[in-house]
């Protein structure tokens, strides 16, 4: 499934709950596949006693990866041309994240159609954890 | 991160997709993928970051025979100095502030990538809670086995003044 310019307008949104009750095990899984074994994300003793955090917290890239699921479900597989985020707040075990894409522009470039999106992911309290943008190739 | 050889493999993609809680079969089921517009398994949008696995010098991976800064018998494997202080271990090279990807094409099993670093900017900002925030940018170009640019990545890391002082 991919998006079509004729069915889209600026201001359209798509939202998904991308993780419900984030587990510490999910953080361990992400460490294992990404290769980022920073103990801040899996080692509670280190995170609290040495680094001075309340506990382990998610890799920013895990939140970015979960947010990407919302994007690819919306724009279709293999359609993203750009995706960028700012990590604005930490994500903790137990958090539930909702990611939203909002259409900011529809454009044509070199005979191809693209959608520009604003991206925002919030936690269960509605606080932003990620803000960013994406662009994707769409059908006419 | 500079990487000489990053082989993109189907199992790694499947496990990476699981680790970002994405059950999309395009990341694991070749038969399904063959029926899609893309026509084959591809990697999730943030997969290039897993090139860390292929960086021999990556600092956030324990290495055999080397001291690791995470906990074992003690909360950190790094010896703290006698004066105490909050140092010893720090927080592993600062935190990730931003990440940007530009996709020239999407990765697929069988690709063999190289990752090359380009110089990035560095800047400072006053933190909201006082103290200096030091930002540095890392630009990475991922090229495939034909030398074609497939992904351009730009990361921004941030360190706080306190961590560096200690």
Comparing CB atoms, the residue among A45, A68, A73 nearest residue B71 is A45
- Alpha-carbon gap, residue A101 to A130, rounded angstroms: 12
Measured between beta carbons, the chain B residues lying within 8 angstroms of A91 are none
Measured between beta carbons, the chain A residues lying within 8 angstroms of B88 are 50
> Where do we find the tokens 């190739």?
A137
Exposure string for B14-38, b = 16+ CB within 10 A, e = fewer: bbbbbbbbbebebbbeeeebeebeb
Give me the percent of chain B exceeding a pLDDT of 90: 77
pLDDT at A28 exceeding the cut of 50: yes
Provide the ipTM: 0.97
Write down the CATH number for the domain with range B47-60+91-165.
3.10.129.10
Contact B92 A39 (CB under 8 A): yes
Check residue B74 and give its pLDDT: 95
Check residue B89 and give its pLDDT: 45
In angstroms, the separation between the Cα of residue A11 and the nearest Cα of chain B is 23
Confidence grade of residue B119 (pLDDT, cut at 50, 70, 90): confident
Contact B98 A66 (CB under 8 A): no
> Which residue(s) pair with A36 in the sheet?
none
Q: Calculate the average pLDDT of chain B.
A: 89
Q: What is the pLDDT of residues B88-118, one digit of tens each?
A: 444 455 789 999 999 999 999 999 999 999 9
- Alpha-carbon gap, residue A97 to A127, rounded angstroms: 10
**Higher-pLDDT residue of B88, B54:** B54
The torsion defined by the Cα of A127, A29, B99 and B93, in degrees rounded to 10, comes to: 100
Check residue B2 and give its pLDDT: 83
Helices and strands of chain A, counted as H and E runs = 3, 5
Contact A45 B75 (CB under 8 A): yes
Q: Calculate the average pLDDT of chain A.
A: 97
Measured between beta carbons, the chain B residues lying within 8 angstroms of A82 are 100-103
- Alpha-carbon gap, residue B11 to A137, rounded angstroms: 27
Token pair in block for residue B126: 């006053």
Indicate the burial class of B85 (C-beta count within 10 angstroms; 0-12, 13-18, 19 or more). exposed
8 Å CB contact between A76 and A139? no
Mutate to test the interface with A, among B45, B77, B94, B106 (most CBs of A within 10 A): B45
For chain A, domains (ranges, CATH) are: 5-22+58-138 (3.10.129.10), 23-57 (no CATH)
8 Å CB contact between A34 and B52? yes
pLDDT at B54 exceeding the cut of 60: yes
pLDDT at A48 exceeding the cut of 60: yes
- Alpha-carbon gap, residue A35 to B127, rounded angstroms: 29
Mutate to test the interface with A, among B3, B6, B16, B19 (most CBs of A within 10 A): B19
User: Residues of A numbered 86-125 whose beta carbons fall under 8 angstroms of chain B's beta carbons: which are they?
Assistant: 86-87
Give me the percent of chain B exceeding a pLDDT of 70: 87
Q: What is the pLDDT of residues B4-42, one digit of tens each?
A: 999 999 999 999 999 999 999 999 999 999 999 999 999
pLDDT at B82 exceeding the cut of 70: no
Q: What's the average model confidence in pLDDT over A74-83?
A: 98
pLDDT at B1 exceeding the cut of 70: no
Exposure string for A83-96, b = 16+ CB within 10 A, e = fewer: bbbbbbbbbbbebe
Check residue B163 and give its pLDDT: 43
Taken as a whole, chain A contains a residue count of 140
Chain B residue with the nearest C-alpha to that of A21: B21
Contact B37 A86 (CB under 8 A): no
């Amino acid at each position: 499934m991919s998006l079509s310019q004729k069915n889209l307008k600026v201001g359209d949104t798509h939202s998904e709950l991308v993780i419900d009750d984030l587990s510490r095990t999910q953080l361990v899984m992400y460490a294992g596949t990404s290769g980022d074994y920073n103990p801040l994300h899996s080692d509670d003793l280190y995170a609290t006693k040495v680094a001075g955090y309340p506990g382990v917290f998610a890799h920013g890239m895990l939140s970015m990866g979960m947010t990407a699921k919302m994007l690819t479900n919306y724009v279709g597989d293999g359609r993203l041309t750009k995706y960028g985020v700012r990590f604005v707040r930490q994500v903790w075990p137990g958090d539930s994240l909702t990611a939203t894409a909002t259409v900011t522009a529809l454009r044509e470039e070199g005979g191809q159609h693209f959608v520009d999106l604003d991206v925002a992911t919030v936690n269960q309290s509605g606080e932003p954890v990620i803000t960013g943008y994406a662009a994707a190739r769409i059908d006419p | 991160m500079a990487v000489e050889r990053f082989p993109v493999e189907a199992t790694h993609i499947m496990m990476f997709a699981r680790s970002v809680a994405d059950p999309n079969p395009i990341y694991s089921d070749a038969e399904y993928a063959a029926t899609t517009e893309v026509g084959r398994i591809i990697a999730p949008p943030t997969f290039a970051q897993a090139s860390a696995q292929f960086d021999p010098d990556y600092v956030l991976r324990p290495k055999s025979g080397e001291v690791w800064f995470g906990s074992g018998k003690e909360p950190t494997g790094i010896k703290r100095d006698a004066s105490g202080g909050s140092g010893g271990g720090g927080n592993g090279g600062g935190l990730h502030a931003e990440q940007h990807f530009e996709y020239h094409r999407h990765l697929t099993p069988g690709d063999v990538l190289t990752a090359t670093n380009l110089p990035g900017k560095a800047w400072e900002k006053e933190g909201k809670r006082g103290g200096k925030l030091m930002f540095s940018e890392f630009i990475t170009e991922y090229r495939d086995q034909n030398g074609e640019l497939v992904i351009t990545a730009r990361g921004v890391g941030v360190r706080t003044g306190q961590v560096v002082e200690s």
